[in-house]
Amino acid sequence: MALTATQKIFAKHAGRESVTPGELVTAQVDVILGNDITSPVAIAEMKKAGGKVACPEKVALVLDHFVPAKDIKSAEQCKTVRDFAAEQGIEHFYDVGKAGIEHALLPELGLVRPGALIIGADSHTCTYGALGCVSTGVGSTDMAAAMLTGKLWFRVPQAIKVTLSGKLRRYVTGKDVILTLIGMLGVDGATYRSLEFFGNVSALSVDDRLTIANMAVECGAKNAFFPVDEEAAAYLASRGVHPCAEELVLPDADAEYIEEIALDLSSVPPTVAFPHLPSNVRTFGKDIPNDIAIDQVVIGSCTNGRLSDMRAAASVMKGRKVAKGVRCIVIPATMEVYKQCLEEGLTATFVDSGAVVSTPTCGPCLGGYMGILAHGERAVATTNRNFVGRMGDVTSEVYLASPYVAAESAIRGVLACPEE
């Protein structure tokens, strides 16, 4: 049977020659990820079962959602994870000062390999598919089961094929591409399907691909997949990952896809998701008013907190000032990005413009801290979700956008895009 890339990876990890979409398989996993919110639940379930971690080297625990701890409850959750990591001999444990937002951190640390099967107790674990693997979010009890046994059950997904052509215009990024796709598919258009990208993949930077894969779950996808090209191989090598040929998975030529989408990157405009769904997309020059006043801008998250995102925002903000009445919060995704921002002068650019620069954290993305919205406030954010109450009060509004749009909006005080 002809297989998609995702199906091939599931088959290999299930010890099978082939798999069929819709069937349930038990597969060995290569990486098991948890954070300070989801890991304590998994740890509690493990204790109930009276078991130990089967393969400590496969587990990665990252404290990133409420760190440094914002209150007693978050401090206790972090302590639970710290104690567990010490008890179980978890080598890949990342705490304040050595951590960062998990989905930016793991590729940076070289923990993501092509051809791997990665699970994480966080829905945006699908990020890593940008590097030629299968990665998907699971529940905390599934995380516990995987830690106990080293494997987990999966339903083999059908696939949607996205064929890319053309090149991105100026001020257009991977964020605009995935928002465009979500607008086309809707929030459930790819439910439990793999979203596989081919064609002119090399027109997208690795960071663009990570952003696109990160938000695949926002149209319901089980995972996203990009083949490894020269640029991705160079990125992996820079992180100490040198895959062998059998890890570089491609679909069979006659693999079956339930849907095929052709997307010309040159046709993608700067795009914004209006409240209260990532699929509620609008584009500049077409259906975005020029008078949507904002109260806050957040530049960061596992979607857009990488160095390229910081550089994009700084290029817009350099020599300019954040508009009166607007709060601009910049959150580098990892300590490496944080340090590089300092070395390149990006931090100074942000501070000089009137923004505040935070320690790496998920923070306001999930309504945690470092920028909660009050009644009726509006924010432009480079985050990945804008559901009702996502960033604060249920009457607040979140507009999802690229770092370019977020930075320009901070400067102008209204939802805005840099001019060509």
Is 102 within 8 Å of 214 (Cβ atoms)?
no
The residues spanned by each domain of the chain are 5-265, 273-412
The encoded tokens of residue 56 equal 């400590």
Is 48 within 8 Å of 140 (Cβ atoms)?
no
Position 8, amino acid = K
Residues with Cβ within 8 Å of 164's Cβ and at least 6 positions away in sequence, in order, are 197, 198, 199, 200, 201, 203, 204, 263, 265
* CA diameter of the chain: 62
Consecutive H or E run containing 213: helix 206-214
Q: Is 6 helix (H, G, I), strand (E, B) or coil?
A: helix
Is 203 within 8 Å of 196 (Cβ atoms)?
no
**pLDDT digit of tens for each residue in the chain (420 aa)?**
799 999 999 999 999 999 999 999 999 999 999 999 999 999 999 989 888 999 999 999 999 999 999 999 999 999 999 999 999 999 999 999 998 999 999 999 999 999 999 999 999 999 999 999 999 999 999 999 999 999 999 999 999 999 999 999 999 999 999 999 999 999 888 899 999 999 999 999 999 999 999 999 999 999 999 999 999 999 999 999 999 988 999 999 999 999 999 999 999 999 999 999 999 999 997 889 889 999 999 999 999 999 999 999 999 999 999 999 999 999 999 999 999 999 999 999 999 999 999 999 999 888 888 999 999 999 999 999 999 899 899 999 999 999 999 999 999 999 999 986
| Predicted pLDDT of residue 292 | 95
Q: Are strands 59-62 and 92-94 parallel, antiparallel or unpaired?
A: parallel
CA angle 118, 119, 124 (to 5 degrees): 105
Position 54, amino acid = A
Asked if the 5-265 domain carries CATH number 3.30.499.10, the reply is: yes
Domains 5-265 and 273-412 share a fold: yes
**Overall fold of domain 273-412:** Aconitase; domain 3 (3.30.499)
Sign of CA dihedral 167, 169, 172, 177: negative
| Predicted pLDDT of residue 420 | 60
b or e along 1-11 (b: 16 or more beta carbons within 10 Å of the residue's beta carbon)? eebbbbbbbbb
Q: Is 225 helix (H, G, I), strand (E, B) or coil?
A: strand
Is 128 within 8 Å of 110 (Cβ atoms)?
no
β-partners of residue 158 are 193
Sign of CA dihedral 81, 83, 84, 86: positive
| Predicted pLDDT of residue 339 | 97
Q: How many angstroms separate the CA atoms of 116 and 29, rounded?
A: 8
